[in-house]
Structure 1
Amino acid sequence: MNEREPWQVPQSSPATTVLVNGIEIGRGSRVRLRPSRRADILDLAMAGLEAEVDAVQEDFEGQLHIAVLIHDDPGRDLGASGKIGHRFFFTPEEVEPLDSHDGPATARPRVLVAGIGNMFLADDGFGPEVIAALRDWQAPPGVHVVDFGIRGMDLAYRLLDGYDAALLVDAAPRGEPPGTLTVFEPDPPPQDQVPEAHAMDPVRVLALAQRLGDGNIPRVLVLGCEPLVRMTGQEPDVVVTLSEPVREAVRRAVPLVASVVDTLLVDCRAVAAEHAVNQRTPKAAAYEER
C-alpha cells in the first residue's frame, strides 16, 4: 500500500473533508490548533486553542485550507456568518484532531438558537431577552446562540447555512395564560404563503427560507411564550419592558432552552449515524477494519 501524507484527502471523499493523522475531519469536527513556526503572530497566538472546523476549502492552486471557529471567541457567531476576523484558516498540518474515533468521522451536529422579536413592542421582546439571559450559558460545541431581532432575511439565510436543527425563541400567542412556555414544531408554511423579507413571524420566515433554499431547511422548533401585552407597532409610543408574567418566563426559559438543545443534538446525532451507515461504501468499510 502506498504511504500517504498525514493530511491527504481520501480519493473517495469530496474536498469538504480531509484526513489528518488518519482521522477524517470536516465541518463540525473538533481540533486543537498547532500553527507552524513560520506562521504570522496572530496564528501563533492561537497555538493550543480548541476550535471547531467550519469548512475544508481548496484554493485555485489546489492547496487545502481548514477554516475554524475558536471555541472561546465571543465573536464566534460572526465567524459562522463568514465575517472576517472571526474565521481563521490553517493548513491540515497545523491542526490536531480531538475527536477520538476510527474511520470516517460523522460531523458534529450544528444547532441554531435564534431569538426573534421587537424589543420596543412590550412582550414581543421575549426572544431577545432570552438570548441576553443565555450569555452565561456554556453552549455545547456546534450550538450558536444569536439575537436576530426583526432581521427576517438574515434569519432565513442563516437557516440555510448548514444547520441540522434550529430553535426559534419568540412570543407566540396560543390562547394560554400569559407567561406559559410551549415548545412546538410549527406547521409547514402554506404553498401559497408569500415570503416577506422583513417579517419575523416564524411561519413567514420558514416560507422565505424554503423559497431561498429550494425547500431544503433544517428541522425547526419554536419555544414560544404566551404574551400579556400585544402591540402591533401602530401605537404612538414604544414599550421597552416586558410584562411581569413574561419577564418571569424568561428565567424559566433558560434551562428549557438547554434541555431542548440537548434533545436536538441527540436526535441529530442519531440521524447522522443512520445516514452514515446507509452511505457506507465497501472502501469505507475496509478503511474501518484496518
Structure 2
Amino acid sequence: MEEAVLVAGVGNIFLGDDGFGPEVVRRLTGEGGLPERARLVDYGIRGMHLAYDLLDGYAALVLVDAAPVGTAPGDVAVLRVGPDDLGGGDLDAHGMAPVAVLASLDRLGGTLPATYVVGCHPATVEEGIGLSGPVSAAVPVAMAAVRDLARRLCAAAPAADGRG
C-alpha cells in the first residue's frame, strides 16, 4: 500500500517546548489512530531527512511543530501552508529549519505537497528537556487534530492504483 500522507514531528527535544512535534508523534505512535496510508515520523532536527523523504511523492504533508500560532502558550492551530508562505531556504546538510526544508524541495527535484502545520504556541524554547504545562496539556488536542486531518487527507488522496 502506498502512503499518501506524511505526518512529520519536528523540533528539538533539548529546547523545552520546541520538542512539541516529537512528543505528539511519540504519543501517536503509542496510541495509534491514523489511517493505513499515513506515515508517522519523528524527524526531530533532521531537516534534510525530511526533505529527502518528501521526494517520495506524498499527496500531503502534516508538519507538527511548536510555532507562534496563537496568543497564549498551549494554543493549537491548523494552518495550510503554500509555497508563497515559505520564502527562500538555504540547504544545509547538518540541519534545516522546517521552512527552509520545504522551500528547498524544488532545488532537490521535488514539489511541495499539500502542506499543513499543526502548531502549538510555545511558552519557552530555552535549554531544557520537557514541555511546559500549557504545551503538555495541548498534546492531546494536537493529536486529535492530526488524526482528523490525516483521515481527511488520506480519503481525498488518489489510490496507488489511480482509482481515487
* Distance (Å, rounded) in 2 between the aligned partners of 1:187 and 1:138: 27
Specify which structure has the bigger relative contact order, considering alpha-carbon pairs within 8 angstroms and separated by 6 or more residues.
2
- Identity value in percent: 45
Q: CA RMSD in A?
A: 2.1
Q: Residue 39 of structure 2: which of 119, 131, 144 is its match?
A: 144
Q: CA deviation at 1:220?
A: 1.3
Structure 1 gaps of 5+ residues are: 1-51, 55-108, 232-237, 278-290
Residue 195 in 1 paired to residue 78 in 2? no
Contact conserved, 1:160 with 1:217, CA < 8 A, in 2? no
- Which residue pairs with 1:159 in the alignment? 54
The secondary structure found in structure 1 opposite 2:140 is: helix
Q: CA deviation at 1:187?
A: 4.2
- Which residue pairs with 1:213 in the alignment? 109
Matching residue's letter, 1:112: L
- Which residue pairs with 2:27 in the alignment? 133
* Distance (Å, rounded) in 2 between the aligned partners of 1:248 and 1:200: 28
* Distance (Å, rounded) in 1 between the aligned partners of 2:51 and 2:28: 22
TM-score, normalised on structure 1? Answer: 0.51
Matching residue's letter, 1:196: D
Q: CA deviation at 1:134?
A: 0.4
- Shift of the 242–212 alpha-carbon distance from structure 1 to 2, 3 Å rule, reads same
Q: Residue 130 of structure 2: which of 241, 246, 251 is its match?
A: 241
- Which residue pairs with 1:258 in the alignment? 147
Contact conserved, 1:195 with 1:211, CA < 8 A, in 2? no
- Which residue pairs with 2:13 in the alignment? 119
* Distance (Å, rounded) in 1 between the aligned partners of 2:133 and 2:59: 35
Q: CA deviation at 1:267?
A: 2.8
CA displacement 1:154-189 (0-9 Å, x = unmatched): 000111112111101000013521101111122423
Residue 177 in 1 paired to residue 72 in 2? yes
Q: How many residues align?
A: 159
The secondary structure found in structure 1 opposite 2:139 is: helix
Contact conserved, 1:121 with 1:239, CA < 8 A, in 2? yes
Q: Which has the larger share of helix?
A: 2
Contact conserved, 1:178 with 1:246, CA < 8 A, in 2? yes
Matching residue's letter, 2:6: L
Runs of 4+ in 1 over 4 A off after TM superposition: none
- Shift of the 242–200 alpha-carbon distance from structure 1 to 2, 3 Å rule, reads farther
Contact conserved, 2:70 with 2:77, CA < 8 A, in 1? no
* Distance (Å, rounded) in 2 between the aligned partners of 1:265 and 1:149: 24
CA displacement 1:40-83 (0-9 Å, x = unmatched): xxxxxxxxxxxx3x5xxxxxxxxxxxxxxxxxxxxxxxxxxxxx
CA displacement 1:177-205 (0-9 Å, x = unmatched): 11011111224232x43233344432111
The secondary structure found in structure 1 opposite 2:128 is: coil
